[in-house]
Amino acid sequence: PPRPPIKPGEDKVVQITDNVGKGMVKSMNESLSMPVMALGEEIDVTNMVALQKAVKASAEKTYGTKVTLTSFMVKAISLALNEHPIINSKFGPNDANPPQYTVFGSHNISIAIDTPYGLVVPNIKDCANLSVVEIQRELMRLAMDAKANKLKLPDIQGGTITLSNIGSIGTKDPRPIPFAGQAVIGCTGRTMTLPRYNEKMELVPRHIMHIRWVADHRHLDGATLARFSNSFKKYMETPGEWTLALR
């Protein structure tokens, strides 16, 4: 029999009028002027997940808060920035002669948060001088304020590098776009249990997470970004390294 008549759906033009949406359009348009490079890495977070579980009860009893993997990642970024401060920077202004860039003195790590009003990216100020528990508390405050649409301008302004943990929603290998005014963004995929070889060449289950770093290629080269990525990987895979780096 002949197919039924086609009933085309009605196209709808949607105007972006909310501040969050307009802000994203503006930021991404500005980012188009940035030539970027990217690299990806596999992170074995088995030991970090074990540490997170081990301190869960103690953190809730002593500090009144749980500690998430995101908070450990934020602190690991800060520790890696101590070793590679040029990553915590921005290029410009574009018309400077000779060209120049600014290395930020504080680690104000922006966190992408999904809300009913759209994606917002507040930042946790001065992460270099915060403990993981203090980072967790600030992360929870920002998330609550973001979902209630109560973020203030100082919460949004001043970010120096961004982490997007979109893997908590889904996706394995994300590919983010840096924000104008920052040189680097990191984006993590979901944590997966996958087989990997141990030292005895035996297959064992491990918690694996992929991360993609995207950087401003005007003043950052691939070797610099790779060394920073290696430092982050070191801190996430070997929590004992923290005892050597923390002040």
Annotated catalytic residue 126: no
Annotated catalytic residue 207: no
- Enumerate residues 6+ apart whose C-beta is below 8 A from 133: 59, 63, 65, 67, 71
What type of residue is 239? P
Q: Which of 177, 206, 202, 180 is nearest to 193 (CA)?
A: 206
Contact at 8 Å (CB) between 92 and 100? yes
For the chain, helix, strand, coil in percent to 5 are 40, 20, 40
Query: Taking the CB of residue 44, how many other CB atoms lie within 10 A of it?
Result: 17
Of the residues 114, 126, 145, 217, which is catalytic? Answer: 217
Q: How far apart are CA 59 and CA 63, in angstroms?
A: 5
Number of helical (H) and strand (E) elements in the chain, helices listed first: 7, 11
Peptide bond into 98 cis (omega under 30): yes
Q: Annotated catalytic sites, by residue?
A: 217, 221
